[in-house]
A = this chain, B = another copy of it.
Amino acid sequence: MPKFLILSSEAESYRNLIEAEKLPDLNWASAPASDVDIVLGEPSLIKLTLDPLPALSWVQSIWAGVEPLLDPTLRRDYILTNARGVFGGLMSEFVIGYMLLHERRMLQKLEAQRNNHWDDADTGTLRGKTLGLLGVGSIGAELAHTAKFFGMTVRGYTRESETSPHVDAYYHGENLLKFADRLDYLVSILPNTKDTRKIINADLLNALPSHALFINVGRGTAVDESALIDALNRNRIAGAVLDVFEKEPLPKDHPFWTTPNLLMTFHTSAPSLPEDITKVFIENYKLFIEGKPLKYQVDFERGY
């Protein structure tokens, strides 16, 4: 009977949701102990507790990103699974929402209202616009689906996969600048790996049209932040929406706070909702007690 520990700031919610499932053979631990087999929680908390858990065999992260557990000085003698398949809808809402904020000139309309000005200038539409997705995993595929629903053209840049039926054209490897050519929207959903570091650099930003909007809902490390600040200061692109940053929380004196045409959302684009994550855990728990391979396993070397 596996012993199970929750390490989360929302432990209470998770406990209630999991108890309601009446899972077979689940033995609850209330604190780290030498016989704990399974841990569910935030990677940042779990990182601090790996040592007192010698029997640990499986960690289910409630986040998609598991960077804190990838530190090469840490143990890797357990199966690490992340949260997947639950963020696509939330991320799609976020990205579509901010693209519409841009197209429909919502902030300009608000400014007009404050100035007592009847601003009936026409606004734009997503229909017919081109969206480029940097990274097309399960989140990117759902985003592509949503963009197609709104009549957009969708390009995908991936290492090699071409699995989403909603991507109109795929690009790989050295075709990054070709991928960027004439995009209306560039959205990064890239994880933090050695291959993605600063992939959004001056060359890529310069390859975009000046009316393009860049949105980052992946990881901040994929952006060359100085190059982005420069591009925004020179109006090389129309704007950026950043949910993630190289360093979080963003330092108080970071130039992003005052860069023009930049909106920041402080890593809230796809919250880990306990109702969603519990479903992922339950699914994997059932596989675990049957001795079957778990879903959403993280490759420690690859980083996702």
In the complex the two chains form, is A109's CB within 8 Å of B263's CB? yes
In the complex the two chains form, is B268's CB within 8 Å of A89's CB? no
Number of copies: 2
In the complex the two chains form, is B89's CB within 8 Å of A94's CB? no
In the complex the two chains form, is A101's CB within 8 Å of B109's CB? no
| A249: Cβ under 8 A from any B Cβ | yes
8 A Cβ contacts from A230-266 to B = 249-250, 252, 257, 263-266
Query: For residue A252, which residue of chain B has the nearest CB?
Result: B116
Give the docked Cα–Cα distance between A45 and B90 (Å). 45
Query: For residue A145, which residue of chain B has the nearest CB?
Result: B149
In the complex the two chains form, is A266's CB within 8 Å of B97's CB? no
Give A93 Cβ to nearest chain B Cβ, in Å.
6
In the complex the two chains form, is A257's CB within 8 Å of B113's CB? yes
Mark the stretch among A120-128, A133-141, A202-210 that contacts chain B: A120-128
User: What are the 6 closest A-B residue pairs judged by CB atoms, nearest first?
Assistant: A97-B100, A118-B249, A120-B266, A122-B271, A113-B264, A109-B265
Binding site for B on A (CB under 8 A): 89-90, 93-94, 96-98, 100-101, 103-104, 106-107, 109-110, 112-113, 116, 118-123, 125-127, 146, 149-151, 249-250, 252, 257, 263-268, 271
Q: What are 21 A-B pairs at a CB distance below 8 A?
A: A89-B125, A89-B150, A90-B127, A93-B104, A93-B125, A93-B127, A96-B96, A97-B97, A97-B104, A100-B100, A104-B265, A104-B268, A109-B266, A112-B266, A116-B252, A118-B250, A120-B266, A120-B268, A121-B268, A122-B271, A146-B149
